[in-house]
């Protein structure tokens, strides 16, 4: 793991991501009329300053430590409780499931996505038996259908594939 200023690169990533987003926001902001851009642009500049401070606080340099002590005391190395580290792959996999669900909902609509997702989560990922997986998937779909489509008379999204 490559270290920059005494901290692994991974720890910088979220802050760098924020910095990128803020710069994009700022650039877009300047494209608007003065009256419309005052607030967003001011906030963005403040955000940049704060994000840079945050980056600094993550380094192990004396300045960084000072910033951490003053502004982020509970995260300084001495006070951090042991945070369990989970394997990155595990976390990515865990995050991928809801995202996949969203994609499935968009493509096929709720009434297909829900049973498929619940089944897949329970049977394939969770290694539960069919005896539990099938009834639970069916029950979940039925519940959503009953509550949203029947009682609320809403039209559950039918999905891009079924609705050109």
Partner 1 sequence: MMKFTRRDVMISAGLAAPALLAGRPARAAAAEFPTRNIQFVIPYAPGGGFDIYVRVVTPMMEKYFPKRVSIVPINVASGAGSRGVTQLYRAKPDGYTIGILNVPGMFILQQQQGSAAYDLNKFTWIGAIGDGERYFINVGVNSPVKTFADLKALSAKRPIKFSVTGPEGTAYMATKIGAQLLGLKTQLITGYKGSADYIIAAVRGDSDAVVAAVPTTMRFLRGGQLRPVISFESRSSIPGLPDATSVGQPELEKISVERLVAGPPGLPAELQNILSAALAKAVTDPAVTKWGKENDVVMKPKTPQETVAILTEQKAFFEKWKTALSAS
Partner 2 sequence: MLEMWLSGFQGLLHVDVFLFVVLGMAIGLVFGAIPGLGGSTAIALLIPLTYSMEPFTALALAGGVMGSVPMGGSITSILLNTPGTAPNAATCLDGHPLAQQGKAGLAIGAAGSANAIGAIIGTISVLIVLPIANDIVLLFGPPEFFLMSVFALIVVATATRGKMLRGLVTGAFGLMIAYIGYNDIAGGERFTYGIEYLWDGIHLVPALIGLFAVAEMINLTVKGGTVAKSATAVKITSMTSGLFETFRHLGTVLRGSLIGTTVGAIPGLGGTVVAFLSYSVTVQASKNPESFGKGNIQGVIAPEAAICAHDCSALIPTLTFGIPAGAEMAVFLGLLIIHGMQPGPLMLRDHQVEIYGLIWALTASCVFASFVGLAFVRVLAKITLIDSSILVPLVLSTAFAGSYAIDMSIENVVVTGVFGLLGYLMMRYDYPRLMIIVALVLGGNIERNLHQSMLMGEGGWSIFFARNISIVLMIAIVALLALPIFRALFKYWRVRTVSVGE
Residues interacting with partner 2, by CB under 8 A?
14-15, 18, 21-22, 25, 28-29, 32-33, 35-37, 39-40, 43-44, 46-47, 50-51, 53-54, 57, 67, 71-75, 83, 86, 90-91, 94-95, 97-99, 101-102, 105-106, 110, 114, 117-118, 121-122, 125-128, 132, 136, 140, 143-144, 147-148, 151-152, 154-157
Task: Give the Å distances, CA to CA, from 26 to 15, 44, 132.
Answer: 16, 6, 51
> How many residues bind partner 1, per CB under 8 A?
12
* Residues 6 or more apart in contact with residue 55 via CB below 8 angstroms: 12, 15, 16, 19
What span, in angstroms and rounded, lies between the C-alpha atoms of 103 and 158?
13
Nearest to 96 by CA among 117, 74, 123: 117
| 156 touches partner 1 by CB under 8 A | yes
Q: Which does 94 bind (CB under 5 to 8 A by kind): partner 2, partner 1, none?
A: partner 2
| 113 touches partner 1 by CB under 8 A | no
Is 30 in contact with 37 (CB distance < 8 Å)?
A: yes
What span, in angstroms and rounded, lies between the C-alpha atoms of 43 and 65?
26
- Give residues in contact with partner 1 (CB under 8 A): 109, 111, 145, 149-150, 153-156, 158, 162-163
């Amino acid at each position: 793991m490559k270290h920059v200023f005494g901290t692994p690169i991974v720890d910088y990533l979220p802050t760098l991501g924020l910095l990128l987003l803020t710069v994009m926001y700022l650039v877009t902001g300047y494209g608007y009329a003065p009256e419309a851009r005052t607030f967003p642009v001011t906030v963005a500049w403040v955000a940049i300053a704060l994000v840079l401070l945050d980056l600094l606080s993550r380094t192990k340099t004396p300045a960084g430590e000072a910033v951490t002590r003053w502004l982020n005391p509970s995260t300084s190395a001495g006070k951090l409780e042991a945070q369990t580290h989970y394997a990155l792959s595990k976390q990515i996999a865990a995050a991928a499931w809801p995202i996949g669900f969203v994609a499935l909902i968009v493509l096929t609509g709720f009434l297909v996505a829900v049973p498929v997702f619940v089944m897949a989560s329970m049977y394939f990922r969770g290694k539960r038996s069919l005896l539990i997986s099938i009834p639970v998937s069916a029950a979940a779909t039925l519940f959503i259908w009953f509550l949203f489509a029947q009682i609320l008379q809403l039209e559950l999204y039918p999905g891009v594939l079924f609705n050109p």
